[in-house]
């Protein structure tokens, strides 16, 4: 299992991590759980604290500013699934010894800038360097927010009968990072227009504004039961994770998944199925029946394309996808294909 790149699978999580998760405290409302973006701790005063942890990126081929954006916003996207914005950030940086003082100052300046933009205070952590550290993962971080307990959403609260609404389109972050990392190849193979549009997707990979829209929709009555951001495993991986976390079955209509020529072209160039590769920037919503039209309309009015792509069903109905009119089992891939595609292109010398 640990030989594979990417996140561990559900079976490994349940066998190794879940049984050994420290002392059991009664105020932990949501602890370690496959497919759940945040932990939730009851503060016993009507509020709860949501926390999430993620790797911090430092990808030289991509750039220091872009790496800082990923570091801040991938964590922020996890907190956004609560329908609230993050407030606090702790960082642990184990940097390569090859990074210069000037490079680190620039990287940290961007971390500070992007944190300030979204109202996040950096409250502490650890910073150092390690000999032999050559990974694009430079450490880890934890983001925290505190909000009214009864208003916080978690991705394990989808209900049978809920409609699945997807925002924006698939494979956004994969396409953007590949276009930025291999600009000459993408431009030569696909043309300047597609290369530019693919690169432009990078700074559209935050879902904080969608989360704020959902919070407004839920103000009087909870019509969105749960949210899950699309990361490793793509949109179909996110839907399956959400169904597992909620103990439900799921039915996805492949034809309804939003596609654009840009994502399709870039993914074809890198031999990727865009439904299964990292798609930060898209959010999956579990919406109560009869409210999906209002939710889609509200999101579209605020500038976020949204589409109903399926529904959550009883566990007995299984987890399926309808492709070309045929119902098939919805697969889950342990390794996101993006990683292999990226390193294959890198090793080929693509520029």
Rounded Cα distance between 279 and 230, Å, is 5
Is 168 found in the same domain as 145?
A: no
Is 172 found in the same domain as 122?
A: no
Query: Which of the listed residues 97, 124, 151 is the one where a domain comes to its end?
Result: 151
Alpha helices in 96-247, H assignment, sequence order: 101-117, 172-181, 183-190, 192-200, 208-217, 234-246
Q: In which residue are the tokens 């500070």 written?
A: 112
* Domain annotation covers residue 3: no
Is 103 found in the same domain as 243?
A: no
Predicted confidence (pLDDT) at residue 312 exceeds the cutoff of 70: yes
Q: What digits encode the pLDDT tens for the residues 88-114?
A: 999 999 999 999 999 999 999 999 999
Using an 8 Å Cβ cutoff, are 224 and 214 in contact? yes
Is 171 found in the same domain as 314?
A: yes
pLDDT band at 6 (very low <50, low <70, confident <90, very high): low
Is 263 found in the same domain as 143?
A: no
Is 339 found in the same domain as 207?
A: yes
**CA nearest to 242, candidates 43, 322, 233:** 233
pLDDT band at 8 (very low <50, low <70, confident <90, very high): confident
Burial class, 54, CB count within 10 angstroms (exposed 0-12 / middle 13-18 / buried 19+): buried
* Domain annotation covers residue 60: yes
* Domain annotation covers residue 167: yes
* Domain annotation covers residue 158: no
Is 209 found in the same domain as 177?
A: yes
Helix (H) / strand (E) element for 92: namely strand 88-96
- What is the pLDDT, as a whole number, of residue 336? 86
Q: What digits encode the pLDDT tens for the residues 241-279?
A: 999 999 999 999 999 999 999 999 999 999 999 999 999
Domain that holds residue 87: 10-151
- What is the pLDDT, as a whole number, of residue 339? 87
Q: What is the mean pLDDT of the chain?
A: 95
Mean pLDDT of the region 189-207: 97
Q: What digits encode the pLDDT tens for the residues 134-188?
A: 888 899 999 999 999 999 999 999 999 999 999 999 999 999 999 999 999 999 9
Q: How many domains does the chain have?
A: 2
Q: What digits encode the pLDDT tens for the residues 48-60?
A: 999 999 999 998 8
**CATH number of the domain within which 136 lies:** 3.30.1330.10
**CA nearest to 89, candidates 63, 71, 109, 106:** 71
Is 15 found in the same domain as 114?
A: yes
* Domain annotation covers residue 306: yes
Is 181 found in the same domain as 138?
A: no
Mean pLDDT of the region 67-86: 98
Query: Which of the listed residues 125, 151, 177 is the one where a domain comes to its end?
Result: 151
Is 137 found in the same domain as 219?
A: no
The tokens of 179 are what? 């276009």
Is 130 found in the same domain as 58?
A: yes
Query: Which of the listed residues 151, 184, 219 is the one where a domain comes to its end?
Result: 151
Is 141 found in the same domain as 186?
A: no
* Domain annotation covers residue 218: yes
* Domain annotation covers residue 2: no
The tokens of 68 are what? 């800082």
For the chain, the maximum distance between any two Cα atoms, rounded to a whole number of angstroms, is 59
Predicted confidence (pLDDT) at residue 337 exceeds the cutoff of 60: yes
**CATH number of the domain within which 253 lies:** 3.90.650.10
Query: pTM here?
Result: 0.95
- What is the pLDDT, as a whole number, of residue 132? 85
* Domain annotation covers residue 315: yes
């Amino acid at each position: 299992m640990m030989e594979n790149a990417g996140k561990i699978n559900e079976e490994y999580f349940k066998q190794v991590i879940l049984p050994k998760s420290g002392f059991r405290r009664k105020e932990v409302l949501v602890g370690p759980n496959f497919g759940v973006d945040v932990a939730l701790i009851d503060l016993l005063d009507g509020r709860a604290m949501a926390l999430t942890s993620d790797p911090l990126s430092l990808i030289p081929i991509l750039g220091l500013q872009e790496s800082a954006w990923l570091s801040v916003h991938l964590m922020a996207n996890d907190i956004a699934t609560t329908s609230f914005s993050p407030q606090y950030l702790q960082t642990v940086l184990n940097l390569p010894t090859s990074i210069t003082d000037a490079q680190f100052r620039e990287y940290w300046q961007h971390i500070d800038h992007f944190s300030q933009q979204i109202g996040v205070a950096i409250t502490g952590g650890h910073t150092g360097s390690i000999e032999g550290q050559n990974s694009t993962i430079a450490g880890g971080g934890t983001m925290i927010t505190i909000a009214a307990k009864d208003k916080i959403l978690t991705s394990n609260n989808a209900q049978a009968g809920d409609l699945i609404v997807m925002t924006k389109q698939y494979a956004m972050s994969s396409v953007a990072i590949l276009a930025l990392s291999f600009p000459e190849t993408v431009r030569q193979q696909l043309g300047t227009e597609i290369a530019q549009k693919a690169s432009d997707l990078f700074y559209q990979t935050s879902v904080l504004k969608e989360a704020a829209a959902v919070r407004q929709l839920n103000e009087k009555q909870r019509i969105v039961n749960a949210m899950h951001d699309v990361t490793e495993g793509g949109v179909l991986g996110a839907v399956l994770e959400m169904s597992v976390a909620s103990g439900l079955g799921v039915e996805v209509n492949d034809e309804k998944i939003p596609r654009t020529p840009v994502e399709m072209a870039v993914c074809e160039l890198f031999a990727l199925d865009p439904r299964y590769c990292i798609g930060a920037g898209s959010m999956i919503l579990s919406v109560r029946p009869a409210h999906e039209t209002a939710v889609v309309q509200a999101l579209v009015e605020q500038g976020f394309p949204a589409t109903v792509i399926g529904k959550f069903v009883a566990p007995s109905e299984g987890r399926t996808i309808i492709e070309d009119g045929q119902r098939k089992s919805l697969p889950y891939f342990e390794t996101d294909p993006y990683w292999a595609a990226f390193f294959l292109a890198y090793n080929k010398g693509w520029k």
